[in-house]
Amino acid sequence: MSDYPKIVIASENSSMLYLSQRPCTRTSNMIAHTVRHLKHSLSDQLIDLVPSYASLLVIFNPLVTDHRHIQVAIGNALDNWQPQAQAQTARRIELPVYYSAESGPDLQRIAAHNHLSIEQIIALHQQTEYRAYAMGFAPGFAYLGELDPRIATPRLATPRKRIPRGAVAIADRQTAVYPAQSPGGWNLIGLCPTALFDTNRQPCTLIQVGDNIRFKAISREQFIQLGGSQSDLGEPS
């Protein structure tokens, strides 16, 4: 018998739903479905939801409901799940990337680590359609998976203090775009001129959990034309 789905207590006012051991598209679809269902069925009882790779944290108001009711609501959401209906609803987003030594200072090291050429790294990064499995670390930071194992590279031993906004990076079998300037330990391979997080926009995040993402190479000129900043080119600190 399968150990999943499994619901455990996280705190006095939150329950954790686990759907599988490893992340996969099916699990990700089920989480997106459960999020939609619970927002509707729990409405005011709900405080927040935290979807991730293979789990969903459900935070509720403990003065109006309890773990038992939440467990029932999660069960109802899962019973309501129709795999076929989900397949067509995932959004597809294409992000332009200026891959180069001046925008991706770690390309050389990733190539050496994986015994490939820089051109092969850039080509392999664009070949996969990624899934936005989770958001966290910073507002609008989406964890995209899974990276081709041939270009997987561990995080930097010492994180950089300042990574420019729009930096496209990889860590192990994940890839991401930094939505704002921040410190970070991922390997940098290029820059994306598209704004990922903008508090004046509705919704403020371009990517949402469950979206499908592809990257497409652009030239230096196109990068500048699309709003990329020249000052972000060169070695970050």
Residues making contact with other proteins (CB under 8 A):
8-14, 16, 22-23, 35, 47-57, 59, 62-63, 66-67, 134-141, 143, 180, 199, 203-205, 208-209
Query: Which tokens in the block code for residue 234?
Result: 């060169």
Q: Find the shortest distance in angstroms from Cβ 171 to other proteins.
A: 12
Q: Find the shortest distance in angstroms from Cβ 95 to other proteins.
A: 17
Closest CA to 92 of 235, 237, 207, 194: 207
Cβ distance to other proteins smaller for residue 81 or 137: 137
Q: Find the shortest distance in angstroms from Cβ 16 to other proteins.
A: 7
Cβ distance to other proteins smaller for residue 122 or 196: 196
Cβ distance to other proteins smaller for residue 68 or 115: 68
Cβ distance to other proteins smaller for residue 90 or 217: 90
Cα–Cα distance, 56 to 19 (Å, whole number)? 8
Q: Find the shortest distance in angstroms from Cβ 46 to other proteins.
A: 8
